[in-house]
Amino acid sequence: MERSISKTCLMEQRLNIVTLGVSDLSVARAFYEALGWVASSASQDDIVFFQAGGVVLAFYPRELLAEDAMVEAKGSGFSGFTLAQNVRSKEDVAQILGFVEAAGGKIIKPAQDAFWGGHSGYFSDPDGNLWEIAWNPHLKIKHNGTLELP
């Protein structure tokens, strides 16, 4: 049954797809595949999809994504957001960052204890998108990899 939008809630509280504009689609795809990610068969010559738990991570050429959104494609530096993956143990943080570095990712912040009581580190992918790998003792990771918020 299709859910209709109520007058009290104009937008459902969910996220389906995160699309990153990339400078070279084949480089982005190869990097994430080197990390063990498997591209969906829905991927095409100009877009790549990865199932990322309950969300889809997509890559699309930066210039075309900007054109579609009717904004300028130019810009660099911190883009005002990070992607994050929470892991099941403190030791997993350094292990994953090591694997990322071996696959060609750049370690921005090595694994270390965080002010909020967990342990985390950051890396950037070939297009400079920032990822945090974090172990948070205050959050539960369900068996399917999703977070259970209090």
Contacts of 57 (CB under 8 A, 6+ apart): 17, 18, 20, 32, 49, 50, 83
- 118-134 pLDDT, tens digit per residue, is 999 999 999 989 999 99
User: Mean pLDDT across the stretch 68-82?
Assistant: 78
Q: Mean pLDDT across the chain, nearest whole number?
A: 89
Q: Is 19 part of any domain?
A: yes
User: Does 92 reside within a domain?
Assistant: yes
Tell me: do 98 and 124 sit in the same domain: yes
When divided into structural domains, the chain yields a total of 2
Query: Residue 46 contacts by C-beta under 8 Å, 6 or more apart in sequence?
Result: 25, 60, 61, 64
Give me the CATH number covering residue 35: 3.10.180.10
Residue 114 included in any domain: yes
94 and 60 co-located in one domain = no
Q: What is the pTM of this model?
A: 0.79
Residue 3 confidence (pLDDT):
59
Is 96 contained in some domain? yes
Query: Domain containing 28: what range?
Result: 15-71
